[in-house]
Amino acid sequence: MTTLPWSRSYNSNSGSPFRPATRRDPMASPSQLGEEYHGVHPLALQAGYKRVAWQKCDQRTTRVRVREHTCECQPIVYELCQAGGLMFVRRFYRGDGVREHQSEWLRAPAAARLWSRILLGQAR
């Protein structure tokens, strides 16, 4: 039987050819995962980046779901949020207290593009 070049990096016992073989315990506790995974950091600003029109946060709904977020180790933390069928990006400055701003509320595809641009350093 011929071994495929990519088969060495995947676990044949996992039942899926797309699940990578890892030596980590699949039932690791959150504290163990926290040591391994630090979080997503937005890239540095790129030349020609676009400025986001940040607004003061207003209480439009009673519940907001945070879909994604950047790493907590940074002084500025971004969250991709969803509520009421729309999405927005929330930004927290942590310095002398916490200042909170949000982008305009957008439909999901436009919010996903904004989130990608923020992570890639193309928008702030």
The DSSP output letter for 123 is B
Q: Which amino acid is at 4?
A: L
Assess contact for 42 and 118: CB atoms under 8 A: yes
Host H or E run for residue 111: helix 108-119
Residue type (1 letter), 52 = V
Terminal C-alpha separation, the chain: 53
Name which of 89, 84, 82 is nearest 123 in CA terms.
Answer: 89
* pLDDT for the residue 28: 57
pLDDT for res 37: 65
What is the pLDDT at residue 35?
59
- Residues 13 and 10: their CA atoms lie apart, in Å, by 9
- The whole-number pLDDT of residue 56 equals 94
- Per-residue pLDDT of the chain in tens (124 residues, 90 and over written 9): 444 443 343 344 444 444 444 455 555 565 655 556 678 999 999 999 999 999 999 888 999 999 999 998 889 999 999 999 999 999 999 888 889 999 999 999 999 999 999 999 999 9
Compute CA distances 75 → 34, 70, 99, whole Å.
19, 11, 11
